[in-house]
Amino acid sequence: MNNNESTRGPYQSTLRARMREQTSQIILDAVGSVIRNADIAAVSVAEVARVAEVTEQTIYRHYGSRDELIRAFIKWHLEQVVGGPDRKLPSTIDELLAWVGMRYQTWEDDRQVVSEAYLSPIGRELRQPLYEIGFENLVRMLTLENPDFDESTRRHVAASMLTLMSTENFVFLKRNLGFDAAEAHAVVATAIGAIRRGVRPSDRPVPQTRKAAPP
């Protein structure tokens, strides 16, 4: 045995790893099919196994529980829509609004998954870090594009913009007003433009001072 062979790590089958990845993808696709044809409550290990045409034991080898299965699906779906860890954030508000328009169309095409999975407790948990990143990026963009805003105003406007662009607002506009992706995007872009144009120094909240207690 030569030195290279003695220092080489245990053999890892790339074929086995590829097959495992393919099986995992088949399972996640089956989760999506169940949600699209029913709702998230219909997702069970047994039902996903039936749709994926695998055994329940196969699913448990990949995902330890129903919640873990749902979590993996939502995380995977989010990465398809917003990108993974290496995603490039929009650098201007115009770029952001254009990206939101594309995202809304994607949501429109897969609205059952968005309304059922994204708004589930697990979906809200997984989206929370994305909202935090989005909020800080909005504050940064407003610092550059609206330098007349003070720090408090920037944060308030950023919070308003993020609320308007949220999944929750998109689903509200769809369910309650029947707006499609283009209409929802127009609503959001119009409202954000109005907020940015309309904010004046007199609109900024005045700190409340406590009245002195009577002697």
pLDDT in tens, 163-199: 999 999 999 999 999 999 999 999 999 999 999 998 8
Query: What is the token pair recorded at 175?
Result: 């369910």
Distance CA 174, CA 108 (A): 9
pLDDT per residue as tens digits for the range 121-130: 999 999 999 9
- Please report, for the chain, the start and end positions of each structural domain, with discontinuous segments joined by +: 14-69, 88-200
Amino acid, single-letter form, for residue 201: P
- Average per-residue pLDDT for the chain: 88
Any idea which fold 14-69 has? Arc Repressor Mutant, subunit A (1.10.10)
Q: What percent of the chain has pLDDT over 90?
A: 76
Query: What is the pLDDT at residue 13?
Result: 65
Query: What is the pLDDT at residue 14?
Result: 81
Position of tokens 């949600």? 35
**Residues sharing a CB contact under 8 Å with residue 170, sequence separation 6 or more, in sequence order:** 104, 107, 114, 184
Query: What is the pLDDT at residue 205?
Result: 53
Query: What global pTM score does this model have?
Result: 0.80
92: three-class secondary structure by DSSP? coil
pLDDT per residue as tens digits for the range 51-83: 999 999 999 999 999 999 999 999 999 988 876
Query: What is the pLDDT at residue 132?
Result: 94
> Residue 47's pLDDT band (boundaries 50, 70, 90)?
very high
Query: What is the pLDDT at residue 85?
Result: 58
